[in-house]
Structure 1
Amino acid sequence: MSELNEIFGSYVFNDSVMKERLPKATYKALKKTIEEGKTLSPEIADVVASAMKDWALEKGATHYTHWFQPMTGITAEKHDSFINPTDDGKVILEFSGKELIKGEPDASSFPSGGLRATFEARGYTAWDCTSPAFVKDGALCIPTAFCSYNGEALDKKTPLLRSMEALSVQAMRVLKAIGNTTAKRVITTVGPEQEYFLIDKNLYEKRKDLILTGRTLFGAMASKGQELEDHYFGTIKERVSSYMKELDEELWKLGIAAKTKHNEVAPAQHELAPIFSTTNIATDHNQLTMEIMKKVALRHGLVCLLHEKPFAGVNGSGKHNNWSMATDDGENLLEPGKSPESNTQFLLFLSAVIAAVDEYAGLLRLSAASAGNDHRLGANEAPPAIISIFLGEQLDSILREIEEGKVAKAEEVSSLEIGVSTLPLLPKDATDRNRTSPFAFTGNKFEFRMTPSAASISGPNFVLNTAVAEILEGFADRLEKATDVQAEMIAIIKETVKDHKRIIFNGNGYSDEWVDEAARRGLPNLTSTVEATKEMIKEKNMAVLEKHGVLTREESQSRYEITLENYSKTINIEALTSIEMVRRQILPVAVDYATNLAASINEIKATGIEVNTSVQADLLVSVSNLAASIKEKVSALEKAVKKAEVIEDSYEMASSYRNDVFAKMNELREDVDTLETIVDSEVWPLPTYSELLFNI
């Protein structure tokens, strides 16, 4: 335990390090900036930079980098050394406040969605002092926002920070109006559960599709999948356990509170869950987690797959985004307490989330949209594409009674009697868990289960923060004018439930009946990323993002273009990879196998002995027919790609990739997967699902 205490956060310039290394006045000034958003003077920044440099050098750092999150979805860093040459041919080690606060990476090669021309290269990174600096791979990493020369957001962090501020402003107005005046600000917190697959590195290197796209473009189902449900929470294999142990240690060094690890439902699938933290720090930590997962896996001869659906027919991977609101003095605003029916403040903030999710369901759906996630949603325990909220029977009953003007009563929390005298009575939770719900209340937080496993959690959280801020603003406007605040709170809750109860659904989200019911309720069913992308430029959505200072209309438009462009590029890469694999690996094997079958038949007949060769003949016909069909379908796929590539309108191009290219890829896969089940496993050129999923 003492060793764990020593390593946790040992590579982080955290509060305890700052308190120890900074002069008292500097520490207080920096804390004021972090907690209250006060401007940090250049003089103070110089002192902080010097202390940060000295600490980083002790940790083995030779360089510093502004670590940021461009619209590529991954992190970026440009390293500069601390050295400065002197006249006598030596060097001194320097790091100034100016270098700490602002950097200047080239912005021309990052996605901008039309915000910047290619020749307009200047961009800036600005220190996010609310997220601690850390040392990684011999460099002092300074978390930063990234913007263009004119100040437009070119990253994932900037809108998130803006949205957190917007929500805090409106939530504080509500709290002050109802008499809760001890808090100074409201923060949002997140604990993202990260799902992933581990496969053998040697097998991975034989699959061009995994290397280039992150998923298997071909692959027949293994004889065994997840149907026995024996992998979920099962004993962790020694090799995987060794990986998880090292992963925990690496994350703990960076102050990432990795808490839970276990086998997930699909074979070779696992999950890591951290303790929740402030949303922007949780976002930074999750980006680091994904990076370190991949690095550590390689040390164990493994590859970590973060794609949402690397294997067809078994569970895909998501990232459950556990979101809540809390005051800076530690009060969780979504904590029901022992008597939720009489906890009006809780019910008020709960109502705000319900209204926000209903009003901006389309935008929230878009925040979880990606080409990879399109494979996952609505299948194998992933939530459906229709946004709905699960509250559970108790809260649902309370809200119904308030809507009807009755005195709300909560059911008494009972205990579970297991029927074994030596086992203790277990307190029964107020709600069950609905695994089909994309947005579920889970005790004192909401779990957004639609988030893609490979994506930044910034998008879902800045949308959620902004939507809730908008609803809270309306609540605050009413409460600040009310003469009877308590009565007005009840009135707001009652009206909100009445106006937005359509979003509440506690049933089976996978059923066909729910699709029909959701349509009757008027809930959007955006089944693909291309459809969902339109939500980014709807007037209502652009207006709310602009109103709360989260995204300008130009920034919203740029994200619309980037999302479509990324989708088209992703499908294009997958299609070209499919074509290459078929032409250079699959068809040659099919032709060789057919040739060998024909030669075998001829050799047997040449003996003059009456032998039944119907087995070989049937195989020859099947393989030859499939090869001919595959050749025809790969040619059709090539034509579809060429047609899509020249479309100028970004939405029409993405639609062509979705409706034509993607469809033809699936048709081609059908034949290839069938061929795999026929051709001798000794000559099949690709590691099979049986090998990939069970060979660790």
Structure 2
Amino acid sequence: MKDIPNLFGSLVFNDSVMKARLPKETYKKLKNTIQAGKSLDLEVANVVANAMKDWAIEKGATHYTHWFQPMTGVTAEKHDSFISPDKDGSIIMEFSGKELVQGEPDASSFPSGGLRATFEARGYTAWDPTSYAFIKDGTLCIPTAFCSYSGEALDKKTPVLRSMQALNKQALRILKLFGKDEVKKVITTVGPEQEYFLVDKEMYEKRPDLVFCGRTLFGARPPKGQEMEDHYFGTIKPRVSAYMKELEEELWKLGVLAKTKHNEVAPAQHELAPIFNTTNIATDHNQLTMELMKSIANKHGLACLLHEKPFAGVNGSGKHNNWSISTDTGVNLLEPGDTPSENAQFLLFLSAVIKAVDDYQDLLRVSVASAGNDHRLGANEAPPAIVSMFLGDELTDIITAIENGTNYIDKGKSEMEIGVRVLPKFFKDTTDRNRTSPFAFTGNKFEFRMLGSTFSIAGPNIILNTIVAEELRQFADILEKSNNFDEDLNTLIKNTIRDHKKIIFNGNNYSDDWIQEAEKRGLLNLKTTPDALPYFIHSKNIELFTKHHVFSESELYSRYEILMENYCKTIHIEALTMIDIVKKFIIPSVLSYQGEIAGIANSKKQLNPTLQCELEEKLLHDLSRLGNYLYAKLDTLETSVLNAKNHSDLLESSKYYRESIFINMQHLRGVVDELETLIGKDHWALPTYGELLFSVN
């Protein structure tokens, strides 16, 4: 293993590199610009750009790109070389401050939700100096925001930065009331745990559904799935271990704090978890992580699957978003301390989060809505579609005592008794974990567990930052007018708990009883993406985002349209792929096997008419019956896909895709999966679940 401290961040133009390469005055001006959130002076930008170019060339880079995150869910980049012509016909290597801070990509070919027409092509990228530039594949990548000619955000980064700014503003108001004038900035931090599958690349390429859709549209369950629970935290297989080792090294070079790796519950499923980072940087890093997971898998003869449910019958993949709030003085505002019952500041921030999750449960559900994630939520492998939050026994007891006006009795930490003397003594935590909760408090942060594995973490964190900013704003408005701060603070916390405790649930979120209980509490149960997305443009949510300058009304409607279109397009592509596979793979397999069985039966009859052919006849009967069903279900699906063009309204179209096309796809799949169990291996044209899930050693 290489020297990890020297390896880490070696391809990043980070603070230490800037400090070493920039003149002291330039470095100081750049840092002040970043901390103050002001635009960069062109003179300073020129010096920074030249130093950045020299450093990048030394590292082998020949090009630069403004690396941005449009509404496609993946990153985008347009590469320009550093070369410029010189007077004598030779070239020089140049990179100006203007090229650093601003780019001009075509904005008409990215999703805009109606913000841009095809003929309105001009767009801009602007350097985000709070996120360090890095080198990838011989190109200097400059993290940037992306906006239209008229100034609307066309990306995910811009609203993230706006939401962080909104929360910072309101949190500082609260901290000032507690006398924390030394705090100049409040940031949110995120550590996204990333789940994924690894399958053999050669088998992957034989599955058009995996290639086109990222998930299997057909597949009978193998004799063994995850029933034995032997894969979870099991020994990592050599081929996978080699992949993980290279992935970690490449991430470390890019300054990504990759920390934990292990096998997940399902066979062929794994997880990578980083240490937390500032939200916008964590968002950049997670996009890099997903990109590298796929590219490095190719080098090892593997395919990395990031779809939320690539295989039916085994757990899908999520992304656990560990979110917290911290100050520039190093204080975690969600840290309860040794005596949380006496920590008024913590309890106020906790109350703000409780109120935010209750008031805006619709938006949290919207933030994790997609066609892929619909397969996973509520399937007893991920949280249900009902948003609730887990606080644990200690915090629940504390807020109950506050609500009731009674004294909280601290139970303290108890020593664990496990019956083995040689083992060291240790204390157990005052509360357990709840792996079924959508939004769980885990000590000094909240773990938002509903995200799908393909998701950019930008959307959910934009929502979290903004809704908490709004509750802090309301709290600050009340407390800034107070004549008796301690008394009014206590009343505010008590009333907030009383009015919003319905969102707190510490039990089993998978149980049917909880669904009934949640309905009694008045909690939303938005089961599918078409159910959830219309809430994005409800009047209260438009007011929220525009008030805090996170989204304009037009930006909100554009994102609603993009998400709805993406949902419909995803199912449309899956349906067309399913039809294509049935015609080109399944039907030929059925006919081929039937022909072989019929040939065997005929040969037996010709050899000896008295020979029994019950096996062949039964197989032929079942294959013929299922073949007829297959043809009928295929025809139904094709008809429903053709009829999709009759629905022009986005909401109506999304419901049609869910209630007609998706259901018809399920019916067709049922027939194909049953056929797979009858047809011989040599005749079945697709790699099976058993081969895909258990072939990587």
Q: Normalized against structure 2, the TM-score is what?
A: 0.99
* Structure-1 residue corresponding to 2:394: 394
Q: What is the identity, as a one-letter code, of the residue corresponding to 2:222? A: A
Local SS of the residue matching 1:416: coil
Partners of 2:360 and 2:410 lie apart in 1 by: 29
Aligned residue for 1:256, secondary structure, equals: coil
- Give 1:427 shift: 1.7
Once the two structures are superposed, residues 507-564 of structure 1 have per-residue CA deviations (whole angstroms, 9 ceiling, x without a partner) of 1111111111111111110111111110111001111011000001100000110001
Helix, strand or coil for the counterpart of 2:375? helix
SS at match of 1:615: helix
Tell which deviates more after alignment, 441-450 or 607-616: 607-616
CA distance in 2 between partners of 1:104 and 1:20 (Å): 31
Matched, 1:617 2:617: yes
Q: Unmatched 5+ residue regions in structure 2?
A: none
**Matched letter for residue 501 of structure 2:** K
CA shift for structure 1 position 605: 1.4
The residue that corresponds to 1:279 in the other structure is 279
Partner in structure 1 of residue 53 of structure 2: 53
1:651 and 2:651 correspond: yes
> How far did residue 484 of structure 1 move?
2.2
Aligned twin of 2:642 = 642
Q: Deviations over 1:133-182 (max 9, x none)?
A: 00101110000000000100101111110000000000000000121221
- Match of residue 422 from structure 1: 422
Aligned to 1:289: 289
One-letter amino acid of the structure 2 residue matched with residue 110 of structure 1: F
Cα distance in structure 2, aligned partners of 1:680 and 1:167: 60
Residue 115 of structure 1 corresponds to: 115
Q: CA deviation at 1:481?
A: 1.3
**In 2: Cα distance, 1:398 partner to 1:265 partner:** 34
- 1:481 aligned counterpart, secondary structure: coil
Contact 2:592 2:683 (8 Å CA) reproduced: no
Deviation of 1:485 (Å) = 1.8
2:330 alignment partner in structure 1: 330
**Residues 40-97 of structure 1 deviation map (CA, whole Å, 9 limit, x = unaligned):** 2110111111111111111111110000000000000000111111121111111111
Residue aligning to 2:25: 25
Tell me which moved more, 170-179 or 405-414. Answer: 405-414
Aligned-partner SS, 1:323:
strand
SS of 1:593 mapped into structure 2: helix
Counterpart secondary structure, 2:440: strand
Deviation for aligned residue 1:681: 1.2
Q: What amino acid maps onto 1:679 in structure 2? A: I
**CA distance, structure 2, for counterparts of residue 611 and residue 391 of structure 1:** 71
Q: Aligned residue pairs: how many?
A: 696
Q: Could you list the per-position Cα deviations for residues 584-603 of structure 1 after superposition, in whole angstroms to 9, with x for gaps in the alignment?
A: 11011101211222222222
The Cα shift of 1:410 comes to 2.8
Partner amino acid, structure 1, of 2:257: A
The question of 1:485 aligning with 2:485 is answered yes
Q: In the TM superposition, what is the alpha-carbon distance from 1:406 to its structure 2 partner?
A: 1.3
Structure 1 partner of 2:220: 220
State the distance in 2 between where 1:160 and 1:358 align.
Answer: 22
Within 5 Å, give how 1:38-187 maps onto structure 2.
38-187=38-187
2:214/2:305 contact within 8 Å kept: yes
Deviation at 1:430, TM superposition (A): 2.1
User: Match for residue 196 of structure 2?
Assistant: 196
What is the match of residue 436 of structure 2?
Answer: 436
Per-residue CA deviations over 1:190-220 (Å, capped at 9, x if unaligned) read 0000000000001001000000000000000
Are the aligned partners of 1:178 and 1:485 in contact in 2 as well (CA < 8 Å)?
Answer: no
User: Within 2, Cα distance between the matches of 1:62 and 1:521?
Assistant: 60
Which whole-Å CA distance do the structure 2 matches of 1:263 and 1:639 have between them?
A: 42
Shift of 1:652: 1.0
**Corresponding residue for residue 496 of structure 1:** 496
Residue 609 of structure 1, CA deviation: 4.2
The whole-number CA distance in structure 2 between the counterparts of 1:125 and 1:265 is 41
**1:390 Cα deviation from its structure 2 partner:** 0.4
> Residue by residue, what CA displacement relative to the aligned partner does 1:632-684 show, whole Å, maximum 9, x if unpaired?
10110011111113321111111111110000000000000000000001210
Aligned residue in 1 for 2:249: 249
Aligned to 1:534: 534
CA distance in 2, matches of 1:150, 1:646: 33
Letter in 1 for 2:187: I
Whole-Å separation in 2 of the counterparts to 1:563 and 1:306: 19
**SS class of match (2:261):** strand
**One-letter identity of the residue aligned with 1:245:** K
Q: Is the 8 Å Cα contact of residues 591 and 624 (structure 1) preserved in structure 2?
A: no
**How far apart are the structure 1 equivalents of 2:200 and 2:645?**
35
Distance in 1, matches of 2:300 and 2:471, equals: 49
Aligned mates of 1:579, 1:410 — CA distance in 2:
62
After superposition, residues 596-607 of structure 1 pair within 5 angstroms as 596-607=596-607
Residues 1:683 and 2:683 are matched in the alignment: yes
Structure 1: give runs of 5+ residues left out of the alignment. none
1:673 aligns with 2:673: yes
- Structure 1 residue 575, shift from structure 2 partner: 0.2
CA 1:2–1:574: 2 relative to 1, 3 Å? closer
Q: Which residue of 2 aligns with 1:550?
A: 550
Q: Give the residue type in structure 2 aligned to 1:104.
A: E
Amino acid of the residue matched to residue 636 of structure 2? A
Which amino acid in 2 is paired with 1:518?
A
Q: Which residue is equivalent to 2:383?
A: 383
Deviation at 1:118, TM superposition (A): 1.0
CA drift at 1:380: 4.0
Which SS does the other structure have where 1:423 is aligned? coil
* 2:385 aligned counterpart, secondary structure: coil
User: Secondary structure at the residue paired with 2:321?
Assistant: strand
Deviation at 1:351, TM superposition (A): 0.7
Q: Which residue matches 1:469?
A: 469
Q: Secondary structure at the match of 1:141?
A: strand
SS at match of 1:126: strand
CA contact (8 A) 1:340 1:410 kept: no
Distance 1:431 1:67 in 2: 43
Q: Secondary structure at the match of 1:669?
A: helix
SS in 2 for 1:113: coil
Question: Does residue 259 of structure 1 match 2:226?
Answer: no
CA shift digits 1:417-451 (9 cap, x unpaired): 11100111222112211111000000100000001
CA contact (8 A) 1:252 1:258 kept: yes
The SS at the match of 1:653 is helix
Q: Which amino acid aligns with 2:371?
A: A
**Counterpart secondary structure, 1:427:** coil
Q: Deviations over 1:14-50 (max 9, x none)?
A: 0000100111111111111222213321101111111
SS of residue in 1 equivalent to 2:69: coil
User: Take 2:505 and 2:410, find their aligned partners in 1: how far apart are those partners?
Assistant: 19
Mapped to 2, the partners of 1:39 and 1:120 lie a distance apart of 26
Give 2:429's aligned amino acid. D
The separation in 2 between residues aligned to 1:492 and 1:125, in whole angstroms, is: 43
Give the SS at the match of 2:147.
strand
The residue type paired with residue 121 of structure 1 is A
- Alignment correspondent of 1:14: 14
Asked if structure 1 preserves the Cα contact closer than 8 Å seen for 2:380 and 2:510, the reply is no
Q: Which SS does the other structure have where 1:259 is aligned? A: strand
Counterpart Cα distance in 1 of 2:518 and 2:511: 11
8 Å CA contact 2:251, 2:258 repeated in 1: yes
The answer to whether the 8 A contact 1:67-1:75 is kept is: yes
Is contact 1:316-1:380 (8 Å) kept?
A: no
